[in-house]
Amino acid sequence: MKFEEVVGQDDIKSKLVAQINSGKISHAVLFAGNEGTGGLPIALALSQFLVCEKRNNTAASDGGLFGAPAPEEQIVLNDSCGICPACLKAQKLIHPDIHFTFPAIKKDTNSAGISSEYITEWRQAVAHFPYMNQNEWMQSINAENKQGNINVGECKEIIRQISLKSFESAYKIQIVWMAETLKETGNVLLKLIEEPPVNTIFIFVVEQIDLMLTTVLSRTQIIKLPPVSVNAIENYLQSEKNIVAKDANKIARVADGNVRMALQLTELQTNEFQGILQQWFSTSARLLGSAKAEASVTLGQITEVFQKMGRENQKGFLLYAGWILREILMISQNLGSEKLQDAELDFATKVATKINVEKAKEINMLLNQASYHIERNSNPKITFFSLSFKLCHIFNA
Ligand SMILES: [Zn+2]
């Protein structure tokens, strides 16, 4: 992946490039950012940039007579070339000097549960969706609801790999994705991280830095990834995904700095979300006065609608509901909404009269919980029914 393919994060990219071009890159970098901020894509772009032959000026065609260039011939680039053999291998995740470690599980009793057992699935998953989260990764290796981790066997494998000479590049790179799944066993890596062989670079990617092994953390240069800007996501959706301007803008705002979510929203029935949300909230708001049996039937019908959506739409819908809820809260506090227009604005204004900060907080927490359960393959009927029932009480409290 080239830096230009990473969505947004321009400041981070230019700082990294400047560090490398001035020879000041740390030998252990850690990217910390929430889901969808691009930790893995940046790690991929950084490693490709490091091995790119054009940058190192080692390509046979433009190298000197005997290959190795004099230092003054080093070309200063702002991105990898994307077309030299090293870039092509990096792009396919088959470069022999770029190693990957990621959470895994034991396949069976004979399995060590280490990354090399899943390298084919890894290459496919990253090629398909470099913005994936850990849960999507675990699903792509059929781990179902297991969390997966980076175990001691994998740590030993890292030590073994790093002790080998680099094959084709001046650098040897070890990417550790979801490094927070590295538990105390990760301490066997400390010496290596502190004093790695020359030209060895560790790139850690974490989403929850507070879960990261502090002994490893203290030995890295931490680079925090902010949410991706609305503008960057909007431009990306228009130019790379052919989304029309109006939709791209809305999706970028709902996604709230999370590129993974933005990409998922582009594939969902987002146009229908507003109608469903309106029906859901208004039914919940009026139901409590009616008889219990009737309420149960009506909630059952709405739950059916959610059930038919499919899991991805359910997650997208809950995200959308959370986004609208924040705007409803703004309106209820007389701060207005700059993000909503037309039917959405009318709807939000009506709901705002029935809500206060406490209620909004409670609903937001319930939406997040439901999202968590749906992501972990809960039964959507039960999740949405119970959520709707709680909504009734909150609206009518
Ligand atoms: Zn290249």
- Convert the pLDDT of each residue in 101-110 to its tens digit: 999 999 999 9
pLDDT at 302: 83
List residues bridging with 100 in a β-sheet: 175
Higher pLDDT, 295 or 268: 268
1 Cα to the center of ligand 1, angstroms: 10
For residues 246-266, give the mean pLDDT. 90
Of 128, 115, 118, 133, nearest in space to 36 by CA: 133
In this predicted structure, the answer to whether residue 61 has a pLDDT above a threshold of 70 is no
Confidence of residue 305 (pLDDT cuts 50, 70, 90): confident
Contact criterion met (CB below 8 Å) for 257 and 35? no
Instruction: Look at residue 64 in the predicted model and tell me its pLDDT.
Output: 41
CA of 55 to the centre of ligand 1 (A): 7
Q: Among 221, 204, 192, which residue's Cα sits nearest to residue 20?
A: 221
Residue limits of CATH 3.40.50.300 in the chain? 3-224
Q: Can you give the pLDDT at residue 106?
A: 94
Give the separation between CA 329 and CA 351, rounded to whole angstroms.
9
Sign of CA dihedral 88, 177, 232, 3: negative
Judged by average pLDDT, the poorest of 86-95, 139-148, 152-161 is 139-148
In sequence order, which ranges of the chain are alpha helices (DSSP H)? 10-21, 39-51, 53-56, 85-91, 119-128, 134-140, 152-163, 190-194, 214-217, 230-241, 245-255, 259-266, 270-287, 292-309, 311-332, 342-352, 357-375, 380-396
The 8-class DSSP code of residue 4 comes to G
* Model confidence pTM above 0.85: no
Tally of CA atoms within 13 A in the half-sphere of 203 that contains its CB: 23
Q: What is the pLDDT of residues 175-227, one digit of tens each?
A: 999 999 998 989 999 999 999 999 999 999 999 999 999 999 999 999 999 99
Distance 61 CA to ligand 1 centre (A): 13
Whether residue 354 contacts residue 395, with contact meaning beta carbons closer than 8 Å, is answered with yes
Q: What is the pLDDT of residue 366?
A: 95
User: Average pLDDT for residues 296-316, to the nearest whole number?
Assistant: 84
Write down the pLDDT at residue 62: 44
Ligand 1 center to residue 58 CA distance, Å?
A: 10
- Average pLDDT value for residue range 72-83: 81
Q: Measured between alpha carbons, how far is 364 from 386 in angstroms, rounded to an integer?
A: 15
> How far apart, in whole angstroms, are the C-alpha atoms of residue 247 and residue 268?
12
Compute, in angstroms, the gap from residue 53 CA to the centroid of ligand 1.
5
Containing H/E element for 62?
Answer: none
Please give the share of the chain, as a percent, with pLDDT higher than 90.
59
Query: Residue 66: pLDDT above 80?
Result: no
Q: How far is the CA of 266 from the centre of ligand 1 (A)?
A: 31
Per-residue model confidence as pLDDT tens digits over 10-20: 999 999 999 99
CA distance 216 to 179: 10
Which CATH homologous superfamily contains domain 3-224? P-loop containing nucleotide triphosphate hydrolases (3.40.50.300)
Question: Closest Cα partner for 257 from 20, 27, 35?
Answer: 35
**Of 72 and 149, the one with more pLDDT:** 149
Q: Is 67 helix (H, G, I), strand (E, B) or coil?
A: strand
Compute the CA torsion angle 68, 56, 221, 119 (nearest 10 deg). Answer: -100
CA of 128 to the centre of ligand 1 (A): 21
| Confidence band of 68 (pLDDT split at 50, 70, 90) | low
Q: Which pLDDT tens digit goes with each residue over 285-295?
A: 776 555 666 77
Computed over every residue of the chain, the mean pLDDT equals 89
Q: What angle do CA 37, 195, 41 make, to 5 degrees?
A: 15
pLDDT at 60 over 50: no
How close is the Cα of 388 to the center of ligand 1, in Å?
A: 53
Reading phi first (left if > 0) and then psi (alpha if -120 to 50, else beta), residue 336 is in left
114 pLDDT exceeds 90? yes
Ligand 1 centroid distance, CA of 97 (Å): 14
Inform me whether the pLDDT recorded for 35 exceeds 90.
Answer: yes
Whole-number Å distance between alpha carbons of 165 and 371: 46
Please give the angle made by the CA atoms of 34, 35 and 39, to the nearest 5 degrees: 80
Going from the C-alpha of 307 to that of each of 23, 312, 379, 381, 382, the distances in angstroms are 55, 11, 9, 6, 10
- Specify the pLDDT at position 270: 76
> What is the Å distance from ligand 1's center to 240 Cα?
22
Question: Using CA atoms, how far apart are residues 91 and 82, in angstroms rounded to an integer?
Answer: 8
Per-residue pLDDT, 287: 66
Whether the pLDDT of residue 271 is over 80: the answer is no
Is 50 exceeded by the pLDDT of residue 390?
yes
What pLDDT, on the 0 to 100 scale, is given for residue 73?
56
**Ligand 1 center to 171 CA (angstroms):** 14
In this prediction, residue 290 carries a pLDDT of: 59
For residues 227 and 34, what is the distance between their CA atoms, to the nearest angstrom? 7
CA distances, 344 to each of 65, 311, 379 (Å): 67, 24, 29
Tokens of 333: 């506090």
- Residues 275-291, mean pLDDT to the nearest whole number: 76
Mean pLDDT along residues 139-150: 86
Is 212 strand, coil or helix?
A: coil
Nearest to 278 by CA among 244, 302, 307: 302
